[in-house]
Chain A
Amino acid sequence: MASTESEMGAVLQSAVVVQKNLERRNQMWAFAIVGFLALITIWSYAVDVRYVYLATYIWFGLIYGMALQYGRFCMASAFRDLFAVGVPRMTVGIIIALVLFSLVSAVVTGAGQSTFHPLPYGYQSVIGGVIFGVGMVFAGGCASGSLYKSGEGTVASWLVILSLSFSQTWFATAGGWLNYFVPASWTASAAAKNLPAQLSPTNGWYNQYMAGYIWNLPATTVAVLTHIKNQFLADFVGNALINTILPAVLILAVVYVFWYRKSHLKNIAKSGARGWRLELLGCWSMISASRRTAIAGLVIGVAAGLHMWVIEGLRHVFGVINAGELLKAMGHTSGLSIQDTVFDPGYWYITTQEAQWSGWLLRVLGFHEMRNIFYGLQNGLPNPLLNPPGWMSISIILGSSVMARLSNEFRLKLPTLETAIWALLGGALMGIGARIGIGCNIGAFFIPVANGDPSGWLFGLGLGIGAYLCVRFYNWWINRRMAKEDIF
């Protein structure tokens, strides 16, 4: 008996030692990652002070990654879990984050430090959103969600990013049979713009979509539409209140009535509250249940606002409007667009820089020569080591990894074959949806909505429709699979 007890004690003790070793190893990894980014920052600063522009993207990326992992901030989850399992937690968290970010953005815009440019307003935002919405549910995470899940060690999310990257490059550069789907009006409009022939403006679906359709659309913010003279007031009333807060309150009310109230009010009624007091307590319970996501949203909202402010400040200091000019001045001319620019949104963005990874690789391998609008005119194809937003995506993965290590949640998780196929399919659809919608769940939804651009809501509507359709498909698929397991 005594021997059994001592054996059990030894087993427990060794389990504690294993756990402690794991925690120590995780902490060391977290410090190593942050140390690596610090070294890059210091070394590049020592080489040339202008690399601080790149470092800015790195450190904001790290903050985004840490916050995303902490709040498990995923827009696929926000739309999907509502329809699939009736859980509104993430929806509520993201709506709260939008409200907070809209307030920060109004301050930044009012101070004249915003880098935001509204997106073209048109039905393509809904179509892009639907394709992206279907893709993100297949993929098991949105564009930003897949980055943070990659940092947690989910290999399926690595496949999503790979597929998202290549599908964008294919879609933005392909000609051939895709040309059959180009309306004649787009070709005529693209031709009328007299773009340099080296960009092939009248060849390729995406080239003609951009030059013959997208560039003809209006783009504005609600603040501008209000015609309020005081800039601060216009930004707060137009962008924050009308474009973000009022729709957000409406969405929260719908989510409360249709998803939360029925299942939770009975429990809250035990407190003795009745009538309006009961409903208010219900609303508060719904909001506070999303506390972790809301905290992440607060951090992201403040960081995203500061990010715009800092980048705009650096542009003033260096006298540039795009990182391409800095790269050129430092002697890095390879991969610049014909305007000497590179992709440099000046705020949180996800998909374009990831397209550039595959675009750069395929260019190095000789598959294309930037003879297109997406790379040749707009975004360039800088070396990934010199790509500021590219570094942001890398440090989002690393930031998430730091957070996951510190909470001992990091683990390399291999996908099943089925999961891998869904990941590749979902990533490809997200890539195509992002190019049509000119952004992902961040660049075409989160950032525009909070910056007074109504087209963000159009993309959001598309995300909702796409997520709903894919959830319907998965319901059918899983029912079919479960029916085979005849155990009842």
Chain B
Amino acid sequence: MAVQFKKEAEGIYLLDVKGYVCPHPQLYTKKSLEKMKSGDMLDLVFDNPSSAESIISMCEAEGNEIMEKGKDANGMRWRIKKA
């Protein structure tokens, strides 16, 4: 298990930080979004609940929109649209 950051399709990226605790999920998310273009989508897969609160606040401040907040037994899968 290591961090995965890959392009899934044009304008859609996947960041998988399962197994990582604070501050890795929020830092990787921030840096991934910085690399992406406006309108691109980030599918974020993580399982550290504390990071969720920070990512929400971070997206609010930056104006990025959290389009979906999926949750299952393996953790969370969110889709974030870069402003």
Contacts and interface: CB of A to CB of B under 8 A. Distances in A.
Interface of A: 72, 74, 76-77, 80-81, 84-87, 89-90, 137, 140-141, 145, 149, 152, 154, 156-157, 263-264, 289, 409, 411, 413-419, 423, 471, 474-475, 478-479, 481-482, 485, 487-488
A85 B19 contact: no
Interface in B31-83: 31-32, 35, 47-50, 53-54, 57-58, 60-62, 73, 75
A86 B48 CA distance: 19
30 contacts: A74-B50, A81-B26, A81-B54, A81-B57, A85-B26, A85-B54, A86-B58, A86-B61, A87-B57, A87-B58, A140-B24, A141-B21, A154-B48, A263-B62, A289-B57, A413-B19, A413-B47, A415-B20, A416-B1, A419-B24, A423-B21, A471-B23, A474-B23, A474-B27, A475-B27, A479-B31, A481-B3, A482-B32, A482-B35, A487-B5
Contacts of B62: 263
Contacts of B13: 487
Contacts of B47: 411, 413
A152 B31 contact: no
Give the top 8 A-B pairs by smallest Cβ distance, nearest first: A140-B21, A263-B61, A416-B19, A87-B57, A140-B22, A416-B1, A485-B5, A487-B7
Contacts of A263: 61-62
Tell me what chain A mostly uses at the interface: helix, strand, loop, or mixed: helix
A333 to B, nearest CB: 41
Contact of B21 (A87, A154, A289): A154
A417 B20 CA distance: 10
A156 to B, nearest CB: 5
A487 B54 contact: no
Contact of B58 (A85, A416, A418): A85
What size tier do the contact residues of chain B reach?
20 to 34
Contacts of B49: 72, 152, 409
A415 B22 CA distance: 12
A140 B53 CA distance: 14
B43 to A, nearest CB: 14
Given A140-B23, A419-B19, 14 more contacts: A81-B57, A87-B54, A89-B53, A140-B24, A157-B21, A411-B47, A416-B20, A474-B24, A478-B24, A478-B28, A482-B32, A485-B5, A487-B6, A487-B13
A90 B20 CA distance: 20
Given A84-B27, A89-B57, A149 B21 contact: yes
Contact of B50 (A137, A149, A264, A478): A149
Contacts of B50: 72, 74, 77, 141, 145, 149
A209 B5 CA distance: 48
A366 B21 CA distance: 36
Residue from the set B2, B3, B19 with the largest chain A CB neighbour count within 10 Å: B19
A264 B48 CA distance: 26
A474 B27 CA distance: 9
A144 B22 CA distance: 14
Contact of A77 (B3, B22, B28, B32): B22
Contacts of B3: 481
Contacts of A87: 26, 54, 57-58, 61
B48 A413 contact: yes
B19 to A, nearest CB: 4
Given A72-B50, A85-B54, A416-B1, A141 B22 contact: yes
A452 to B, nearest CB: 31
A413 B75 CA distance: 9
Contacts of B23: 77, 80-81, 84-85, 137, 140, 471, 474
A145 B50 CA distance: 10
Nearest to A418: B2
A13 to B, nearest CB: 17
Nearest to A80: B23
B74 to A, nearest CB: 9
Residue from the set A90, A141, A413 with the largest chain B CB neighbour count within 10 Å: A413
Nearest to A154: B21
A418 B17 CA distance: 12
